[in-house]
Amino acid sequence: MNPLTLQTKAIALGLIFVALAGTHTTAYFQGRGARDDEVKVENAKIAAKAAAEYKVAVDYGNKKAAEVQELERTSAEVLTEVLINVSKITTGKSCLSADAVRLLNKPTKVFGLSPRPRDPVEESTGGVATDTDIVNWIARAQDQYKKCAANNNGIVDILVKEGQK
């Protein structure tokens, strides 16, 4: 055999090998690129779904916040109406004694509510509650309750909806 022919055959086989390796590598990277494209498309779908769910959640939260604000506004209007008109429908007559007012304002025990001895300073300032005072206290308590209930109910609605997913 001619050494030149053997050398030529080796070069030819080497070139064939390089060509096959190049073709294989190109096919591998093209396949990998196609897989990367599939992953990108899937990630885009997931991101779009998450963005849509986020928008729904934000819109629902904003709706609930608006409802709470409306309830608070309505409650404030009712309170204002009561406070404006309370003196027209009450007499200012004493309803609760100084002891009763003190017991409500500063109970001395947590369970056995017993009034403490009279304080001469409180006696000199009147310390009694009139029917007007009581209506004002009740109106303010109702207002605070309605606002607190509206906030809590709004939070519960959001959490319940979130839990249903």
Q: What is the pLDDT of residue 123?
A: 46
Residue 55 is encoded by which pair of tokens? Answer: 């928008």
Q: What is the pLDDT of residue 77?
A: 93
Query: Max CA-CA distance within the chain?
Result: 133
| C-alpha distance from residue 46 to each of 43, 49, 60, 158, 163 (Å) | 5, 5, 21, 23, 20
Question: Splitting the chain (165 residues) into consecutive groups of 10 residues, what average pLDDT does each group show?
Answer: 62 75 73 72 87 87 90 92 89 84 67 50 61 89 91 87 73
Alpha helices by DSSP H, the chain: 3-89, 98-105, 120-124, 131-163
Evaluated on CA atoms 95, 115, 136, 123, the torsion sign reads positive
Q: What is the pLDDT of residue 148?
A: 92
Q: What is the pLDDT of residue 126?
A: 59
Q: Please give the model's pTM, rounded to 2 decimal places.
A: 0.56
